[in-house]
Chain A
Amino acid sequence: MQERIPVTEKEVNEDLLKPVFTTPIWWWVAVAVMATGVAAAAGAAGFMFVNGTGVEGINRPVMWEFLIVNFVFWVGISHAGIMLSAILRLTQAEWRRPATRAAEVMTIFSLGTAALHPMMHVGRAWRIYFEFPYDFGRGIFPNIRSPFVWDPSAIFTYLTSTVLFVYVAMLPDLAIARDRSTGWRHTMYYVLAMNWRGTPRQWHLQTVAGILLSSIILPIFASVHSIVSWDFGMAIAVEGWHSTVFAPYFVIGAVWSGVAGVITLLALMRWLFSAQKYIRPEHFDGLGRLLSVVGIGWFYFTMMEICFSLYSLEPSEIAFRHLQLMEWPFNMLFVLFVTTGFFIPVALFMKKSVRRNVAAMFWISIFVNIGMWLERYMIIIPGLMRKTGLPFSWGSHSPSPIELIIVTGSFFAVALGLLVFSKFFPLIPLSDAKEGEVLRAEIQVGKVRVPAIVRE
């Protein structure tokens, strides 16, 4: 495409390693702010740990709330990594290149943050090891019928494979950093680069490993958020939860919010690391095109889920939908979530000038994620409030400051993780950027010229 700015390998190395080797003042300020937020959240979690989960706003019908909403949200965000690294890699979409590492690293940190949520939220967090199969002697095993046993296995599999993926893809970059650093950093990169010398055999192995990993973790793409959705889908008592459409609905919602998260991150990286040469409007264009499809698919599932329940005409189901769609404040939130989560972004993604405008894309992606957070809220909370046909036990919910601090802190935690990571490792993959420079030949397809893909 035309807007490519030709860069030499030396320039790539210098530009992309600059944020690693130089520490501007804004980095310290940002880290201080984020660390304060994380410390506040840790303090709140500690307070909860010491005093009991009652410091949350939970009550009898609404036993799960903001922490679980946030858990689902962060697992959703983490789907971006697999979408960009595995699916777009296997389909050889060229515009994924600068975004892959950012997406995968965001996956690691958001998944780690997500995994903390249910652990904080259980009543006896110090007994969380009961969930793992450790006690064979007494014949007690975790209940493998429970989605809460599937959850950790899915999440930890995803976490492990993503860490592996990031590491394998980063080996050449680590070697470059090794050769340009001194002191303890040199030692660290030396060990981490695992003797990478860029021999053809090493490149070959690394490429094969990357492709193998992306195809092996493809099932995780379908499984992780499906399993998270079954946390809700398995609950027969809660109207609005036990929908069979939940697994694909959650997965597509996860891609929707996750890729939007990547756009937010890319825009920030473009501004903060002055990476205009590498993160170009064409990348936002590609992501925007992808998102408009995903968004429409997600909206289809949203509407279908509502229609399904309205077709059934069960009184308790109707009571729940009445609360969700008609009663204050959920009617307001529903409108807000449909507008921010679908109508604004998809309508704007349709326009090429918007897709290529980085600032606009940044704000739209934030809108998408506001909508998606609200979506999880709209699924989890009203469902519990109008649980069954015993109106005597219907309840309401208001969050407590503690959980609001933890929810806010989780955003700081992911940002802090990314900031610290960017100080040690390049967030834009050097080797991918160089590879992209090599694969520049264009071919004519119909009326447009697209980059020719020459791959291994």
Chain B
Amino acid sequence: MQEPAPRKKVNWMMRAAVALSVVLTVVITLAVVPKILGHYFWSIEQWYRVTPVQPIAFPHPSHVQVDGIDCLFCHRSVATDAMASIPPVQQCMFCHKLVKTDSPEIQKLAKYASDNVPVEWIRVHRVPDHVHFVHEAHITFFTRRDNVAPSQVCATCHGDVGSMQQVKQVRSLRMGDCVDCHRQNNAPTDCAVCHY
């Protein structure tokens, strides 16, 4: 049987070991737990959300709120197809041949039109390639449920774009967000509804 070591040393070393393990546990907890919780409770993804500066400072409010143009007037295929189309430059020029031609932004637009090149808008709402979000199905559902016009349901996911000078993403649009809404509305949560 070994002689017991001096008492003082024991305390110092054991305390150091315990302190080290406590520190490690705390660090690991701090590193891992928010990551896990973030999936469910915190909108961590908001940190990544950006409000891109578009090539032309297109003001939604002056078109929607002032002029009262319907969403579907420009985003024409949104109620009939998967994608909500961005209007071609020519469509903008229907009006802007005559309207506000002296504004520098409209002159940029006119240049795109005369060069016959599309405006390279920066996409704000994007889901990964393996997700197939179909606007048509969602618009059909919400218009039927609430018995409203298609342009009144856009705000469900996109927020009040009509009042945004620069369009920004308001919902996380991550899978948890989609699935929550599907569950609330008794929509199918089969994986193959979106992933195929």
Q: B10, A137: Cβ atoms under 8 Å?
A: no
Q: B13 contacts which of A175, A191, A197 (Cβ < 8 Å)?
A: A191
Given A187-B13, A191-B17, A195-B14, does the pair A137, B1 have CB atoms closer than 8 Å?
no
Q: From known contacts A175-B2, A197-B4, A198-B1, infer whether A138 and B13 are also in contact, taking CB-CB under 8 Å.
A: no
What CA separation (Å) do A227 and B52 show in the bound complex?
A: 53
Does any Cβ of B come within 8 Å of A179's Cβ?
A: yes
Q: Count residues of chain A with CB under 8 A from any CB of chain B.
A: 17
Nearest-CB residue, chain A, relative to B175: A138
Q: Does A446 contact B (CB under 8 A)?
A: no
Q: Which of A137, A139, A176, A187 has the largest count of B CB atoms less than 10 A from its CB?
A: A137
CA of A136 to CA of B36, assembled, Å? 10
- Which residue of B1, B3, B5, B189 contacts A139 across the interface (Cβ within 8 Å)? B189
B2 near A191: Cβ-Cβ < 8 Å: no
Within 8 A of A (CB), among B1-30: 1-5, 9-10, 13-14, 16-17
Pick the contact of B36: A134, A175, A176, A178 (CB < 8 A): A134
What separation, in Å, do the CA atoms of A187 and B13 have in the docked complex? 8
> Which one of B1, B2, B9, B179 has the greatest number of beta carbons of chain A within 10 Å?
B2
CB distance from B177 to the nearest CB of A (A): 10
A256 to B4, CA, bound (A): 44
Q: Residues of B within 8 Å of A, CB-based: how many?
A: 18
Chain A 134-189 residues near chain B, CB threshold 8 A: 134-139, 175-176, 178-179, 187
Do A139 and B13 have beta carbons less than 8 Å apart? no
Distance in Å from the Cβ of A156 to the closest Cβ of chain B?
A: 17
A27 at the interface (CB under 8 A from B): no
**Is A137's CB under 8 angstroms from B2's CB?**
no
**Chain B residues positioned under 8 Å from A191 (CB to CB):** 13-14, 16-17
CB of B188 within 8 Å of the partner chain: no
Q: Is the CB of B39 within 8 A of A135?
A: yes
Q: Which residue of B lies closest to A172 (CB)?
A: B2
A190 at the B interface (CB under 8 A): yes
Does A179 lie within 8 Å of B2, measured CB to CB? yes
Interface membership of B121, Cβ < 8 A: no
In whole angstroms, how far apart are the Cα atoms of A138 and B176 in the complex?
A: 6
Q: Which of A194-249 contact B (CB under 8 A)?
A: 195, 197-199
Please list the residues of chain A having a beta carbon within 8 angstroms of any beta carbon in chain B: 134-139, 175-176, 178-179, 187, 190-191, 195, 197-199
